[in-house]
Structure 1
Amino acid sequence: MKFKFLYLILIASALTARLHAQQHSEQDHSKYMAPTDPLVQQKLSKWQDVKFGLLMHWGTYSQWGIVESWSLCPEDEGWCERRGPHSHDWYEYKKAYEDIAKEFNPTRFNPERWATAAKNAGMKYVVFTTKHHDGFAMFDSKYTDYKITNTPFKSNPKSNVTKEILSAFRNQGFMTGTYFSKPDWHTDSYWWKYFPPKDRNVSYDPKKRPELWQKFKDFTYNQIEELMTGYGQVDILWLDGGWVRPFSTIDPNISWQKTIPYDQDIDMARIAKMGRSHQPGLLVVDRTVTGEFENYVTPEQQIPDHYMPIPWESCITMGDSWSYIPKENFKSTRKLVHTLVDIVAKGGNLLLNVAPGPDGEWHEEAYQRLDEIGKWMSVNGIGIYETKPQAPYRQGKWAYTKKANTTYAFYLADEGETIPAKLKPEGLNIPANAKISIAGNQKSLKLKDGSIEIPAKTAVQVGQQPVYLFVIN
């Protein structure tokens, strides 16, 4: 049975995706714990230098064009809303949702094209959703039948899509990461069928059912070990579902954490030790669970309003939705470049999400955006990669980074704005004898009364750009 009726509600469902999450910005980052393992420190430093990565949410939910997993969640929240003929009955809906696997067949899947487009855009790491909260494995797990290699796509030689994606990106020089959901709404050891689920949390009290919780812990451990052993080098284990956490880590000042009813300690020490035994230096990102297993923090769909001295990454959608919708509202190239510069100037990385569709392809417009970003990055990436933030970081329309004795001053232009004849970098003191030029242009610019003078000929040569980069030595 085809569920084309659900396409009518795609936009309404998917727009709520950017609202759901877990209010990651509410974390108290003053409690960040820096890793002590030298190999982890080394990899974290490398990760902080690459600045720009690709996130992909892809699963059977793409077939219906709906928000990833959340319509299964029995919570009275907008992002959990069910629509269509099965919406009146949660049990019917869950069965219909899980039956999508019987028709999921992404025959246009071509990860090499993705990797090439991402590389040309200037991206240097990738994080792929190997399993979201719905429990559908986008890899060939032997611990479940609910997986990509048990769909009509199973006869395709590239059916183990996680392996193919990581390999394609690794071949292009990318650091690779595996998104993995700690909760699993398909397995009976998390949403135990004896008790119907009331919300996103485990459906029973783990203290009362320790043997069942241990079964779930082992299941989770085993699936993660599969990813850490059968998929080549993995640099990042990116764990989502922050309500699966020790009760002692719950912050009562954070609204969504106050709703967690049980201790859901998944034994991160055991998982991290195993992961690093197979993947030395592995970055572990136990999102929102502040402590030794959150090697960097991940504000979602937002940018901090100030410089943060800890390792961090904003994960942001290229459009409105984390998951595929047929008609996406993509952000402009100018907006995306501004976002990258703003984040890097404050000390972070940008992890930009693009969602493949049910046929295994991206929207063509996503390729166009990456191509346009790449053209800007090919000239201006010198002020992005391997840089450090420089005070005052962000001031008005200016953003600053540095590398050794070079200062990079970014001017974030308004829509349609050409470079003015004179610009004064806000909050930055430039020595009178400094050498100044615009990235990609050899002309030395003069400084007068603290302002940079741009000759009309130079303005024509650099053309109109979303952000202009001044190189100051």
Structure 2
Amino acid sequence: MKKKVIAALFAMFIGGITASAQDPMVEKKNTDRKPPYIYPEESIVRDNIEKWQDMKFGMFIHWGTYSQWGIVESWSICPEAYKFCMVRPEGMNYFDYVRKYEDLKKTFNPVKFNPEKWAEAAEYAGMKYMVFTTKHHDGFNMYDTQYSNYKITDAECPFHTDTNADIAKGIFDAFRGKGMMAGAYYSIADWNNNDYWWDYFPPKDRNVNYPPEMFPEKWQNLNDFINNQLDELTGGKYGKLGMLWFDLCDASPEKHPQWERFAKTVRTNQPGIMMVARHTNSIYENYRTPEQKIPDRALDYPWEACMTMATQWSYKPDDIYKSTHDILTTLVQIVSRGGNFLLNVGPGPDGELAPEAYQRLKEIGDWMQVNSEGIYGTKAIAPYKEDRIAFTSKDNNVYAFYLNAKGEHMPSVVKIKSFVPVSAKSVFLMGYNRPLKWKKTGDGIEIVIPESVRKNPPCDLVWGFKLKVK
């Protein structure tokens, strides 16, 4: 009965939370006006960054015990007065809530977990890499760590007897098996670790709750713990990783974690692995990660926009998913400005993705079958966007994507001001194997699209044109 009452309270309060857990602290850092990007010293890392930049499109997966309540990932146990943190039922004591939250480990049993199914869907969608939350801020480990009992493989977790109990390993293996790069998200914050939130003091915010200079042994223990876990993830059991995608990287406003030590550990294990120490503006931030936004211009450093497919990073019952039109428009605009797109899905407590997620991935894949040539391996080219047309480039070609309005049919004429093809037979609609007629005008060119093509276009939206310009 008590559990039913708690569940009902959660349903009442969760219903009013619709934000995607956009952290105001991240938003303050989520700006193009940053210190100059620092290129890594190692040539193998620089080479891997270039290879990753050509991949363009990846899958982000946020998953943990919190999916059982359908709430924001981790943040509900953080004592900060932001709306997305405040999903605890009114009147419930903070410490009682944390105990119930941590007890979610004892009921987490995602028996429908099938990483191969996820990997197949991502592969068809044209995704070339993935990043999975091995440990989010709450400290629950979705892999078989030897340095914490707060993990998916602990004897108190009912899923620990499953053949896929080491969830991270299953995911990494499945996606690599489809030819995709595997990446591990790892939060420096660990709100279950007594060397992060020391139980001598109450937690006060997302950072450690003690002064590191006053308690150096606690601080050193925390850094040892982080280093040991990074050694586990990169030491061989979890295979080759393309990147370590770090979050909440500061830990303390007074003292930085031992990033040089972490880098030595992971790059001794896996030379060339990319480190993404978000918002540190350091040599350990090999690419930058604007969150839930598209920069308003092309950026002169490696970057990736991470965005949700629905309204929040983690699973939410009956969540509202972005349309395929909106996702593709976002993809094209990100790529046209030189970035990568990391699109997030949040599996449910049973281990399945929502039907809407599979549908979006299928429809994205259908579009990629036609237009991927203008996505992979392309570079940004000025002016990047012109009215409703976004540009990418590769070799001697410019790709012009017409960003149609929702419900808009293919136009009979497409006007481009910024580029002129080299010959009469050097303009194509991708997915249509005959050259299109075009003519010069006073301020550019006009591409004429035959009626037969308009009635039966190679894809339903965001049409791509290929122009040979040199």
TM-score range, shorter chain: over 0.9
1:439 aligns with 2:443: no
Residue in structure 2 matching 1:451, options 443, 446, 451 = 446
Distance in 2, matches of 1:20 and 1:328, equals 22
1:181 aligns with 2:187: yes
Residues 381 and 463 of structure 1, relative CA distance in 2, 3 Å threshold: closer
Aligned to 2:281: 290
* AA in 2 matched with 1:142: Q
Distance in 2, matches of 1:127 and 1:453, equals 42
Residue in structure 1 matching 2:7, options 4, 16, 20 = 4
Deviation at 1:176, TM superposition (A): 0.7
Aligned to 1:73: 78
Aligned to 1:143: 147
User: How do 1:305-320 and structure 2 match up within 5 A?
Assistant: 305-320=296-311
Aligned to 1:342: 333
Moved more, 438-447 or 333-342: 438-447
SS of corresponding position for 2:16: helix
Aligned to 1:192: 198
SS of corresponding position for 1:299: coil
1:219 aligns with 2:222: no
Residue in structure 2 matching 1:101, options 84, 88, 105 = 105
Deviation at 1:423, TM superposition (A): 1.1
Aligned to 1:256: none
Residues 94 and 48 of structure 1, relative CA distance in 2, 3 Å threshold: same
SS of corresponding position for 2:127: coil
1:232 aligns with 2:239: yes
The answer on whether the counterparts of 1:413 and 1:465 sit within 8 Å (CA) in structure 2 is no
Moved more, 21-30 or 437-446: 21-30
Distance in 2, matches of 1:426 and 1:307, equals 19
Residue in structure 2 matching 1:332, options 300, 323, 326 = 323
Deviation at 1:430, TM superposition (A): 3.7
Residues 377 and 331 of structure 1, relative CA distance in 2, 3 Å threshold: same
The answer on whether the counterparts of 1:31 and 1:291 sit within 8 Å (CA) in structure 2 is no
Deviation at 1:467, TM superposition (A): 0.4
User: How do 1:294-443 and structure 2 match up within 5 A?
Assistant: 294-431=285-422, 433=424, 435-443=426-434
* AA in 1 matched with 2:218: L
Q: TM-score, normalised by structure 2?
A: 0.94
Deviation at 1:466, TM superposition (A): 2.1
Moved more, 313-322 or 434-443: 434-443
Q: TM-score, normalised by structure 1?
A: 0.93
Distance in 1, matches of 2:152 and 2:25, equals 25
Aligned to 1:130: 134
Per-residue CA deviations over 1:211-256 (Å, capped at 9, x if unaligned) read 11000000011111111112011110000003326xxxxxxxxxxx
Long gaps (5+) in structure 1 = 246-259
Distance in 2, matches of 1:200 and 1:114, equals 32
Distance in 2, matches of 1:279 and 1:301, equals 30
Moved more, 462-471 or 130-139: 462-471
User: How do 1:28-107 and structure 2 match up within 5 A?
Assistant: 28-84=33-89, 88-107=92-111
User: Superposition RMSD on alpha carbons, in Å?
Assistant: 1.5
Distance in 1, matches of 2:269 and 2:379, equals 31
* AA in 2 matched with 1:64: W
1:164 aligns with 2:170: yes
Distance in 2, matches of 1:78 and 1:233, equals 38
1:15 aligns with 2:10: no
Residues 413 and 426 of structure 1, relative CA distance in 2, 3 Å threshold: farther
Distance in 2, matches of 1:45 and 1:221, equals 27
Residues 21 and 334 of structure 1, relative CA distance in 2, 3 Å threshold: farther
The answer on whether the counterparts of 1:60 and 1:100 sit within 8 Å (CA) in structure 2 is yes
* AA in 1 matched with 2:246: L
Deviation at 1:280, TM superposition (A): 1.4
* AA in 2 matched with 1:94: V
Aligned to 2:208: 202
Distance in 2, matches of 1:83 and 1:94, equals 10
Distance in 2, matches of 1:454 and 1:30, equals 46
The answer on whether the counterparts of 2:144 and 2:151 sit within 8 Å (CA) in structure 1 is yes
Q: Percent identity?
A: 45
Per-residue CA deviations over 1:90-111 (Å, capped at 9, x if unaligned) read 1111111101111110000000
Distance in 1, matches of 2:263 and 2:359, equals 38
Deviation at 1:330, TM superposition (A): 0.1
Deviation at 1:31, TM superposition (A): 1.3
Query: Aligned pairs, how many?
Result: 456
Residues 168 and 21 of structure 1, relative CA distance in 2, 3 Å threshold: farther
Deviation at 1:434, TM superposition (A): 5.7
Deviation at 1:167, TM superposition (A): 0.3
SS of corresponding position for 1:371: helix
SS of corresponding position for 1:238: strand
Deviation at 1:19, TM superposition (A): 4.8
